[in-house]
A and B are shown apart, each in its own frame.
Chain A
Amino acid sequence: GAGVSQSPRYKVAKRGQDVALRCDPISGHVSLFWYQQALGQGPEFLTYFQNEAQLDKSGLPSDRFFAERPEGSVSTLKIQRTQQEDSAVYLCASSHGVSKNIQYFGAGTRLSVL
């Protein structure tokens, strides 16, 4: 498809379980962003990649959160030992990255930690 694709759309995890969330950006987009969105709140920045380089991870809430984009395309956000407070929608966005800052978002992955 032409848009940003995220999988799975829904994920239920037991507390303490590890999860991996996938993002397929728009082909050719240099920049990739991950956001966390709690219910009723705006998206909160987690991390940013330019190609395969993770240039900003200042928004990752703890060392249980890890993101990678090894070949500069698909990205994975991994959360280890999930906690109930990790329950949120995780949004991925990509941007062409050349002189514009228009981000194209996926539909998100809704994570519920029980």
Chain B
Amino acid sequence: DAKTTQPTSMDCAEGRAANLPCNHSTISGNEYVYWYRQIHSQGPQYIIHGLKNNETNEMASLIITEDRKSSTLILPHATLRDTAVYYCIVSPPNTGGFKTIFGAGTRLFVKA
């Protein structure tokens, strides 16, 4: 079972900020929060990750609550090309011997 809970779908107007929530109430102390997105007919693409501090890169910002039980991915100025399925994943930082669980994700529709 997925360790995260996300809304099934969301809409956003082009040019506005898209705020995608994720609940991960059972997250462990050493687990990071990762976000990926999958555009139709492509493989998932890494967006951003964080442990407890807020993070920002050229694609998005990640806001993690102080208790780490939830987070929000922010796309500051959504474009039509941001229409995709967004996956929130919790995982330890080392890749050795773990199973990545994606869940169903949030389908974001950016509308003109």
Contacts and interface: CB of A to CB of B under 8 A. Distances in A.
Interface of A: 4, 30-31, 33, 35, 41-45, 48, 50, 55-56, 58-59, 91, 93, 95, 97, 99-108
Contacts, number: 70
B53 interface: no
Interface string B1-16: 0100000000000000
Contacts of A104: 46
Interface string B83-94: 001010001111
B34 A43 contact: no
A102 B97 contact: no
A42 B104 CA distance: 5
Interface residues of B, number: 28
B97 A103 contact: no
A42 B43 contact: no
A42 B93 contact: no
Contact of B102 (A44, A101, A108): A44
- Report which residue of B45, B87, B95, B102 has the largest number of chain A beta carbons within 10 angstroms of its beta carbon: B95
A91 B44 CA distance: 9
A97 B97 CA distance: 11
B104 A55 contact: no
17 contacts: A42-B2, A42-B103, A42-B104, A45-B100, A48-B95, A48-B97, A48-B98, A48-B99, A50-B96, A59-B99, A91-B43, A101-B95, A102-B34, A103-B44, A105-B44, A107-B41, A107-B43
Nearest to A33: B100
